[in-house]
Amino acid sequence: MLKENMQILSSAGARTGQTILRLKGPLNIHTIFDFQAAVRAESSPVLIVDFSDVPFIDSTGLGALVGAHLTVQKANRKLALAAMNPQVKALLDMTNVSQFFEAYHTVEEAEAAPT
């Protein structure tokens, strides 16, 4: 089986105190550890996760998102998800996990949202 990879790029958001994590690749059992490490390494008040290049997530990816929510919440920070494709959004909705996240159609909408 071919091991899948994920690229994670961190950059400053449009406003002070925002960090954008741009994910490229699937969020699954093979890639969650890099994702978890990237979330833990960030300390900005607002963390925006850009899903525009994430084709799918599996159940472990879903669990990693919930873990990211808890990590950020414990630190009194905000987590926003942006640019999810219909399949990823449907998984979050179907499992009732979407209620824990602020989701936006684009990264720009997430950047402009009130903190």
> Taking a C-beta distance cutoff of 8 angstroms, is the pair 22, 8 a contact?
yes
Per-residue pLDDT at 79? 96
Q: How far is CA 16 from the centre of its chain?
A: 19
Per-residue pLDDT at 77? 95
Per-residue pLDDT at 4? 72
- CB-based contacts of 67, cutoff 8 Å, min separation 6: 36, 39
> Taking a C-beta distance cutoff of 8 angstroms, is the pair 65, 57 a contact?
yes
pLDDT in tens, 68-79: 999 999 999 999
Per-residue pLDDT at 1? 44
pLDDT in tens, 2-44: 557 899 999 999 999 999 999 999 999 999 999 999 999 999 9
Mean pLDDT of 53-65: 96
What pTM value is reported for the model?
0.93
Task: Report the top-level CATH class of 18-112.
Answer: alpha beta
Per-residue pLDDT at 115? 74
Q: Residue ranges of the domains in the chain?
A: 18-112
